[in-house]
């Protein structure tokens, strides 16, 4: 009989100096940094499970994770206790006790990622968080190509070195490309993402926006039977990528209503 | 007879990893990093003069500087040439040939600085550029105190270890405190700033906003004859400080109209 409580955390991090979320021996990762801080408070914590395994260099506004502990400290106190221990590039935003049936990864129904393109001269005050391009992109062409991605498709062409027999079918709820000041933001909500998928979608749409890939290529990229001879989209740098939030429950609301931070 | 051209640059930098603007032997500074890049293109450049000597850790959107060179490369080409050589935390935004009568420091009439307070839980995605406070500040009290600063005053109380005989009179054109989402921004336009002045003004206004310093203290801080026994405002961390731009000419326009970037 377990006497442990399950604690759910919402975590924000600047991914620049992390080798991604997932613990790897000898590397500075978000998971291991977080685990070290949690274990300074409760050494009965063995594992911290995250909703998304973000790439090296990618950021997160609202990564979700959970762990089990018998420590009786009140649930909201985890925020300040952990933030006092964590380094400057990672901080807990929220903590909550949840039932044992909650699992940050397996119960997640939707993940919302943003990719930011900054157009013009490189600006150091934002270039940690955006991919800078010297020339403008064709927003209309990008939007047209983006719409073909919505729904349930085989995203094999947007994955890295995936064996042909792997299941690369994923469902995207919405794909939105828009201009925000002198930036272009690509917002995608999907049930799950294959490794590198988000950065290859951003790459493919950038190619369309630059006129180096025809829009008509996009439907072909999604058809399993047309894999032969497909020219895969480029993978863009992780610095432009941010996991905005993770949603649970069967009926996802519009993600744009979820947080005022998202429109900054 | 000089055959050199004077080139004016507008420079943006993330000050986190710089020991400020001014060159100091053995330190990584903005001035020395920039000079090294310029000299890779034209080794006849001896000095780069900046409008403001920003503090270690402080940022700049629009620092202005100039140098002289006989190099005939077209004036706009300096931007890309230098940005190819400069590290990620500094980039030239604009380059222009100016008359020899232009001097980035002595001709500057107004400097616009911003100090950002982030209210709430520490957020790593912005905490490089803002000073985070757990509790809200009293915006109205801060604004009242801020208004006393406008005009020509002796800012001795806002300076660091300044000898009593030094000239610490400066003129502030506008001081504005406002709420922007979950942040508070302090925007100050002044003819010049003593070392540490902007961060002590931010500190004094924070103390007022936290209720630990009465608003009535502010007029006293500005009166030379009341210096005795004055409790100086705290100096806040440089990370929240950014030199937004520098203005030249006798009739400064409203700084808020100067750049769309400023309201982000």
d(CA B127, CA A14): 10
Please compute the mean of the pLDDT values over residues B234-254 and round it to a whole number.
85
Q: Taking CB atoms and an 8 Å limit, are A125 and B88 in contact across chains?
A: no
Same CATH topology for B5-98 and B110-248: the answer is: yes
Choosing from A55, A84, A89, A254, the catalytic residue is A55
Q: Taking CB atoms and an 8 Å limit, are A91 and B129 in contact across chains?
A: no
Domain boundaries of chain B, sorted by first residue: 5-98, 110-248
Q: What residues of A are in contact with residue B181 (Cβ under 8 Å)?
A: 260-261, 264
Active site residue B217: no
Q: What residues of A are in contact with residue B90 (Cβ under 8 Å)?
A: 124
Say if residue B23's pLDDT is above 90: yes
Q: Taking CB atoms and an 8 Å limit, are B121 and A61 in contact across chains?
A: no
Which of A59, A61, A125 has the CB atom closest to B12's CB atom?
Answer: A125
Q: What is the pLDDT of residues B172-212, one digit of tens each?
A: 999 999 999 999 999 999 999 999 999 999 999 999 999 99
d(CA A39, CA A229): 50
- Only one residue has tokens 């001081």, namely B175
Q: What is the pLDDT of residues B99-140, one digit of tens each?
A: 999 999 999 999 999 999 999 999 999 999 999 999 999 999
d(CA B30, CA B22): 7
Q: Taking CB atoms and an 8 Å limit, are B124 and A61 in contact across chains?
A: no
d(CA A112, CA A188): 6
* Closest CA–CA distance from residue B30 to any residue of chain A (Å): 13
DSSP A96-138: EEE-TT--TTTSEEEEEEEEEEEESS--TTTTTSSEEESS---
B125-B126-B128-B134 Cα dihedral, nearest 10 degrees:
-110
| pLDDT band of B227, cuts 50, 70, 90 | low
Multiple choice CATH, A110-250, 3.40.50.2300, 3.40.718.10, 3.30.70.660, 3.40.470.10: 3.30.70.660
Instruction: Given CATH 3.40.30.10, say whether it is the number of domain B5-98.
Output: no
Instruction: Given CATH 3.30.70.660, say whether it is the number of domain B110-248.
Output: yes
Say if residue B90's pLDDT is above 90: yes
Q: Taking CB atoms and an 8 Å limit, are A14 and B121 in contact across chains?
A: no
Cβ(B184)–Cβ(B178) under 8 Å? yes
Size of interface A-B (CB pairs under 8 A): 65
Q: What is the pLDDT of residues A126-177, one digit of tens each?
A: 999 999 999 999 999 999 999 999 999 999 999 876 677 788 999 999 999 9
d(CA B123, CA A14): 9
* Closest CA–CA distance from residue A94 to any residue of chain B (Å): 9
B194-226 as b/e, with b when 16 or more CB fall inside 10 Å?
A: bebbbbbbbbbbbbbbeeebebebbeebbeeee
* Closest CA–CA distance from residue A190 to any residue of chain B (Å): 23
Confidence (pLDDT) at A2:
59
Confidence (pLDDT) at B231:
86
* Closest CA–CA distance from residue B9 to any residue of chain A (Å): 13
User: Of A67, A73, A30, which is closest to residue A45 (Cα–Cα)?
Assistant: A67
Q: How many CB atoms lie within 10 A of CB A94?
A: 16
Distance of CA A33 to the CA centre of its chain: 18
Q: What residues of B are in contact with residue A181 (Cβ under 8 Å)?
A: 260-261, 264
| pLDDT band of B226, cuts 50, 70, 90 | low
Q: Taking CB atoms and an 8 Å limit, are B124 and A181 in contact across chains?
A: no
- Point out the residues of chain A with pLDDT beneath 50: 1, 252-264
Q: What residues of B are in contact with residue A79 (Cβ under 8 Å)?
A: 121
Please compute the mean of the pLDDT values over residues B225-252 and round it to a whole number.
85
Residue scoring higher pLDDT (B259 or B75): B75
Choosing from B17, B43, B55, B220, the catalytic residue is B55
Confidence (pLDDT) at B160:
78
* Closest CA–CA distance from residue B245 to any residue of chain A (Å): 14
Average pLDDT, chain B: 91
Q: Taking CB atoms and an 8 Å limit, are B124 and A83 in contact across chains?
A: no
Q: What is the pLDDT of residues B135-158, one digit of tens each?
A: 999 999 999 999 999 999 999 899
Q: Which residues of chain A are at the B interface, by a Cβ-Cβ cutoff of 8 Å? A: 12-14, 59, 61, 79, 83, 88-93, 121-125, 127-129, 181-182, 242, 260-261, 264
pLDDT > 70 fraction of chain B, expressed in percent and rounded: 91
């Amino acid at each position: 009989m377990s006497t442990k409580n399950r604690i759910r955390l919402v975590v924000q991090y600047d991914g620049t100096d992390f080798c991604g979320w997932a613990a790897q021996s000898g590397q500075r990762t978000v998971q291991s940094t977080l685990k070290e801080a949690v274990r300074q408070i409760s050494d009965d914590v063995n594992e911290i499970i995250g909703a998304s395994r973000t790439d090296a260099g990618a950021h997160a506004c609202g990564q979700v994770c959970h762990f089990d502990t018998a420590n009786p400290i009140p649930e909201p106190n985890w925020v300040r206790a952990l933030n006092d221990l964590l380094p400057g590039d990672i901080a807990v935003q929220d903590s909550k006790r949840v039932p044992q049936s909650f699992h940050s990864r397996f119960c997640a129904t939707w993940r919302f990622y943003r990719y930011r393109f900054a157009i013009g001269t490189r600006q150091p005050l934002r270039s940690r968080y955006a991919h800078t391009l010297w020339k403008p992109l064709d927003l209309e062409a990008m939007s047209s190509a983006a719409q073909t991605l919505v729904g349930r498709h085989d995203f094999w062409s947007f994955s890295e070195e995936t064996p042909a027999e792997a299941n690369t079918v994923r469902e995207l709820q919405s794909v939105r490309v828009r201009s925000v000041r002198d930036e272009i933001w690509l917002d995608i909500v999907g049930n799950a993402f294959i490794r590198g998928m988000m950065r290859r979608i951003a790459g493919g749409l950038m190619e369309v926006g630059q006129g180096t890939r025809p829009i008509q290529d996009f439907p072909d990229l999604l058809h399993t039977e047309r894999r032969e001879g497909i020219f895969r989209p480029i993978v863009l740098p992780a610095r432009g990528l941010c996991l905005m939030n993770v949603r649970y429950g069967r009926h996802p609301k519009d993600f744009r209503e979820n947080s005022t931070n998202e429109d900054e």
